[in-house]
Amino acid sequence: MSKDLFQAPDYYQIDDLLSEEHKLVRDAAREWVKRDISPIIEDYAQKAEFPKQIIKGLADIGAFGPYIPEKYGGAGLDQIAYGLIMQEIERGDSGVRSTASVQSSLVMYPIWKYGSEAQCEKYLPKLASGEFIGCFGLTEPDHGSNPGGMVTNFKDMGDHYLLNGAKMWISNAPFADIAVVWAKDETGRIHGLIVERGMEGFSTPETHNKWSLRASATGELIFDNVKVPKENILPKKSGLGAPLGCLDSARFGIAWGAVGAAMDCYDTALRYAKERIQFGKPIGSFQLQQKKLAEMITEITKAQLLAWRLGVLRNEGRATSAQISMAKRNNVDMAIKIAREARQILGGMGITGEYSIMRHMMNLESVITYEGTHDIHLLITGLDITGLNAFK
Ligand code: TGC
Ligand code: FAD
């Protein structure tokens, strides 16, 4: 890949809305991505391999549990700082951001919010430092958008639980040390269980042949009569609302992350348009290319403001799940459209690994599907504004 010359677009001076701490955290993440992600990521995406050596760097910039209290090893930051870290990481690659958001919002968050004090003390510091990597098992082969239909289940055997079933499309699964797994008890109620690598009957085969999110490891979780110690159940919340509550936190991070991917595509296309000469002029001087670039910066600016406002609402504890859905849906859709337009501005060069755009575009095909598809988020907004459920 050519040298990372990224300059962050801030057309509406949104930096003025950030605190000094926000800017420090953001700049540290930005520098780290430039130094440790940009030079290697294309190669790892081509090889379809997660670069495990970056785990320590992710921990060092506070990407594992940014808002988890410091007493558990987290960074103790607010929601806007969390969002900014996700934005910067996804500026580098959505797959790397996936690892960070799964670890923070889908593994540390449920342990922190629904776990016992003993579980928090046992797992959170190791997850914050990157000594442990976690994954989150909700989706099943036959239950994606409809997780409430899950069939993975556990039975109370007196001194332990016996877990059976399978999860699919699980980020980080192939190398995760622990999995937060959602399964039904004998009454059909959903609970979270912490399953550790090495438990007999637990395997995590990798999913191959992905054209998207290639630098992120995706896999299955298979439970064949796994004996889970009773102390590994998350005691403080059960029901479908428990995993969905984690998704709120992860979707919020994605709303910011997608802005990062879009900023990178726009910045690359803008620079290229000013340098590339055709018909004796920079292609950026043609109205058709200017239209693309002007619309991109307009959409990025709107998405930045949406993410920032959502961060303020989350800091105040006032953001609704439906507001989070709107931001996830809008910002990912915005990013994927910008990636497609930016790719065109680069002409043939746009399809090569010399530039990040095609990788972002392909990654965003996963991002628009996971954590609730584009359609599902629209239906969440539809339900919120009409009171009428169009899911079923
Ligand atoms: P529904 O009846 O609407 O709700 C069941 C219960 O959950 C409550 N609830 C929520 N609670 C917290 N946060 C939310 N966002 C919530 N949404 C709903 C709700 O109040 C109810 O509570 P209670 O007490 O009345 O029982 O459930 P439903 O079965 O009709 O489904 C609704 C639907 C379709 C919106 C939901 O299931 C959904 O969001 N589907 C999409 C599935 C999804 O997003 N899966 C993501 C898997 S994880 C992932 O993709 C990780 S990728 C990570 C990466 O690599 O970055
Ligand atoms: P389906 O639910 O089968 O949907 C197929 C199509 O039907 C979609 O377009 C959908 O919008 C549409 N549809 C479904 N229901 C309705 C409806 N009621 N009305 C209208 N349209 C509808 N899951 C995890 O649990 N943990 C992870 O770490 C994780 N990581 C992932 C990583 C990757 C790379 C990918 C691709 C997925 C990951 N997922 C993970 C799974 C992801 O959350 C699901 O793929 C997603 O929720 C959609 O489920 P599905 O693929 O089964 O699609």
CATH number at residue 74: 1.10.540.10
**Do 226 and 112 share a domain, yes or no?**
no
**Do 169 and 112 share a domain, yes or no?**
no
**pLDDT of amino acid 54:** 98
**Do 296 and 183 share a domain, yes or no?**
no
- The number of the ligand 1 atom at minimal distance from the alpha carbon of 392 is 30
Q: Tokens representing 327?
A: 């931001």
Ligand 1 pocket check for 239: Cβ under 6 Å:
yes
Domain endpoint, select from 133, 150, 166: 133
**Do 117 and 140 share a domain, yes or no?**
no
**Do 359 and 294 share a domain, yes or no?**
yes
Please indicate, yes or no, if residue 344 is contained in any of the structural domains. Answer: yes
Q: Is 287 in a helix, a strand, or coil?
A: helix
Ligand 2 pocket check for 243: Cβ under 6 Å:
no
| CA separation for the pair 48, 216 (Å, rounded) | 8
Per-residue pLDDT of the chain in tens (392 residues, 90 and over written 9) = 678 999 999 999 999 999 999 999 999 999 999 999 999 999 999 999 999 999 999 999 999 999 999 999 999 999 999 999 999 999 999 999 999 999 999 999 999 999 999 999 999 999 999 999 999 999 999 999 999 999 999 999 999 999 999 999 999 999 999 999 999 999 999 999 999 999 999 999 999 999 999 999 999 999 999 999 999 999 999 999 999 999 999 999 999 999 999 999 999 999 999 999 999 999 999 999 999 999 999 999 999 999 999 999 999 999 999 999 999 999 999 999 999 999 999 999 999 999 999 999 999 999 999 999 999 999 999 999 999 999 99
DSSP calls for 175-193: G-SEEEEEEE-TTS-EEEE
Domain endpoint, select from 214, 232, 250: 232
**Do 195 and 251 share a domain, yes or no?**
no
Q: Per residue in 338-378, pLDDT tens?
A: 999 999 999 999 999 999 999 999 999 999 999 999 999 99
- Atom 17 in ligand 1: which residue has the minimum CA distance? 244
Domain endpoint, select from 186, 203, 232: 232
Domain count, the chain: 3
- Atom 56 in ligand 1: which residue has the minimum CA distance? 98
**Do 335 and 350 share a domain, yes or no?**
yes
**Do 113 and 198 share a domain, yes or no?**
no
Gap from CA of 146 to ligand 1 centroid (Å)? 8
CATH number at residue 148: 2.40.110.10
Ligand 1 pocket check for 235: Cβ under 6 Å:
no
- The number of the ligand 1 atom at minimal distance from the alpha carbon of 148 is 29
Residue 125, judged by CB atoms within 10 A of its CB (0-12, 13-18, 19+), counts as middle
**pLDDT of amino acid 260:** 99
Q: Which ligand is nearest to the CA of 137?
A: 2
Which amino acid is it at 306?
Answer: L
Ligand 1 pocket check for 268: Cβ under 6 Å:
no
Please indicate, yes or no, if residue 167 is contained in any of the structural domains. Answer: yes
| CA separation for the pair 156, 256 (Å, rounded) | 41
Cα distance between the two ends of the chain = 46
- Atom 10 in ligand 1: which residue has the minimum CA distance? 241
**Do 113 and 246 share a domain, yes or no?**
no
**pLDDT of amino acid 174:** 98
Ligand 2 pocket check for 138: Cβ under 6 Å:
yes
**Do 278 and 373 share a domain, yes or no?**
yes
| Annotation marks residue 140 as catalytic | no
CATH number at residue 339: 1.20.140.10
**pLDDT of amino acid 1:** 62
Please indicate, yes or no, if residue 5 is contained in any of the structural domains. Answer: no
Gap from CA of 318 to ligand 2 centroid (Å)? 27
Ligand 1 pocket check for 372: Cβ under 6 Å:
yes
| CA separation for the pair 356, 365 (Å, rounded) | 15
**Do 257 and 363 share a domain, yes or no?**
yes
Gap from CA of 378 to ligand 2 centroid (Å)? 14
Gap from CA of 141 to ligand 2 centroid (Å)? 10
Active-site choice (90, 220, 299, 371):
371
Ligand 1 pocket check for 171: Cβ under 6 Å:
yes
- Atom 39 in ligand 1: which residue has the minimum CA distance? 372
Check: CB of residue 197 under 8 Å from CB of residue 220.
no
Gap from CA of 368 to ligand 2 centroid (Å)? 9
Gap from CA of 324 to ligand 1 centroid (Å)? 12
Q: At what angle do helices 321-345 and 374-386 cross, to 10 degrees?
A: 140
Domain assignment of residue 36, given as a range: 14-133
**Do 326 and 377 share a domain, yes or no?**
yes
Q: Which ligand is nearest to the CA of 251?
A: 1
Please indicate, yes or no, if residue 8 is contained in any of the structural domains. Answer: no
